[in-house]
Amino acid sequence: MRERKFVHRALRMVLALGAICVAWQGALAAPDHVAMTTKGSVQGVARNDVVEYLGIPYAAPPIGGLRWKPPAEHSAWEGVRQATSFGPTCAQVTLLGVFAGPASNNEDCLSLNVIAPMQASANGEKLPVLFWIHGGGFVDGAGSDYDASKLAARGKVVVVTINYRLSLLGFFAHPALNKEGHLFANYGLLDQQFALRWVKDNIANFGGDPDNITVAGQSAGGASAAFNVISPLTRGMFHKAIIQSSASYLTAIPMEVAERKATAFAEAAGCGKGADEATASCLRNLPADALMKLSGPPDGFGPYVVTPVADGQIIPSGGASAFESGNFNHMPIMNGSTRDEGNFFAALPVYFSGKAVTQTDVESHVKTIFGGNAGAGGTPPAYPAGTVDRILAYYSSGDFGSPQLRMNAIQTDVMVCRIQRGTHLLAGKVPLYAYEFRDRTAPFMFPELPDFAPLAYHTADLQYLFPGFHGGNKGAKHDLNARQQKLSDELVDAWTSFARTGNPNPPGESTWPQYTSDPNAQSYLAQEIPELSAISDNDFTADHKCDFWKDLLVYN
């Protein structure tokens, strides 16, 4: 009898322990990671310390009659939509080779990705939202290029990355389309704004705060962030902006240039010279592959491609005019560059040709850029006579250890002095933080190039925010060492602190000074190894010879 009681007691203990183990395992098991949107439910996937909802359509496919029209609402779906893989890349010929793409003819590409800290929505939190716009010269790239897991997990923010229409499909201003009565020309920017509206409407269900959105991007993505700051159509839609490594927003392509190029494209595509409904219909019926062939080769812009256009509504004017007049959406802004921006652009022809930079290449570049008109899209005014000789003399070949370093200096200084101009125009109008990324030991994402020193090249900073950016299918694997990981942690903390509060300094810290117009004040954060430091506007000007360039560069 005692043995029977003992057996019963033991069985009860085993069953109780089993129930505890099942409950414990259930607590550790991933929840279903289903989130509701206005169009239906989506199933995400857990990875490390985040949940990723990938390839969520935010607009109807811009195909057929919707090509070259503002984005339209996507239809609702029944059941739970799987959001466990990225959506298709938008049509592109991949100007940046292995660092963008892949090459695509797909127009059904308007999707976004939400990366949230684990349990964000389950905990009822309202986390800051970082809305990231990819770069790529407005002709290539994709939201899937960016691993946002570290930003989301370490920074406790919800990150959204997006696709938007590119190249001729995204920025096209044919008169036959422009007179149809809808917003026109800047379809890629309209996509970005439509995605922002999706975020406002849906992000709370992913743990994000629709009243605390930061729009950020690098290169063309940085220009996009600035154009959205300028656009009256985004008023109230976001609250802070981060402009990384971009000055192209200071000017916008004049409408007459954009229309001239679009008309030439239509004729080349066999749609004639007209500006009527038949021409519009012909353009919309062009096969995507034929259209992309006319976009240009992988190693350069084609003759018909334009970047964002001053259309008068989406973009009333270039950034220089808007920032100077104060006619933009006022908010805290971060604006900065890398120490050697130009080295990326110096590397591209070396990558495509396999040949090292020569002094002839430097001279040819300067003649091409500074031997004609200085305005946006090749419009007047012309550079003053003698400008080419003046630049080549100032950047004398004898002052540099190689033609590549000379090319880097010229291309870098032109770009970063323009970026500094944007900083100067914003100063005093909004809370402003300026920086320069200076880690010249940053891993190089290109395959090995002949006689090439990478330095702190354009895009070098991205791998510190987005782990592994951007080895691509053929790019070089580039892990960060321990000191670089420390810098990565510091940058992630700064970016996400800014997204949270409008101040990049984490609580209790003051390493990063707010920018001031005093040229002697420590106004820039120098992001370098082994320690962060601060430099003055005068230091930046001297490093990049901005006093030399200020009378040459055109901003309006």
Percentages of the chain per state (helix, strand, coil), in multiples of 5: 40, 15, 45
Q: Return the closest-CA partner of residue 308 out of 241, 238, 250.
A: 250
DSSP E strand stretches across 396-446 = 432-437
Cα 334 from Cα 512, distance rounded (Å): 11
DSSP-assigned states of every residue in 29-92: S----EEEETTEEEE-EEETTEEEEEEEE-S----GGGTTS---PPPP-SSEEE--SPPPPPSB
Q: Return the closest-CA partner of residue 148 out of 532, 466, 549.
A: 466
Cα 417 from Cα 337, distance rounded (Å): 10
Tokens at residue 9, please? 């007691």
CA angle in degrees (0–180, nearest 5) for 487-489-490: 65
Non-local (6+) Cβ contacts of 321 within 8 A are 327, 556
CA 260 to chain centre: 28
Torsion angle of C-alpha atoms 61, 65, 66, 69, degrees rounded to 10: 170
Q: Return the closest-CA partner of residue 159 out of 121, 119, 214, 114.
A: 114
Cα 53 from Cα 112, distance rounded (Å): 9
CA-atom Rg of the chain in angstroms: 25
Tokens at residue 105, please? 């003819």
Q: Is residue 219 among the annotated active site residues?
A: yes
Q: Return the closest-CA partner of residue 414 out of 227, 269, 272, 545.
A: 545
Catalytic residue selected from 52, 324, 341, 528? 341
Q: Residue 218: phi, psi to the nearest 5?
A: -125, 145
Q: How buried is 307 (Cβ within 10 angstroms: 0-12 exposed, 13-18 middle, 19+ buried)?
A: buried
Catalytic residue selected from 111, 121, 167, 219? 219
Q: Is residue 436 among the annotated active site residues?
A: no
Cα 131 from Cα 54, distance rounded (Å): 14
Q: Return the closest-CA partner of residue 42 out of 203, 271, 174, 194.
A: 203
Tokens at residue 54, please? 């990938």
Q: Return the closest-CA partner of residue 407 out of 417, 386, 385, 392.
A: 392
> Annotated active-site positions, please?
219, 341
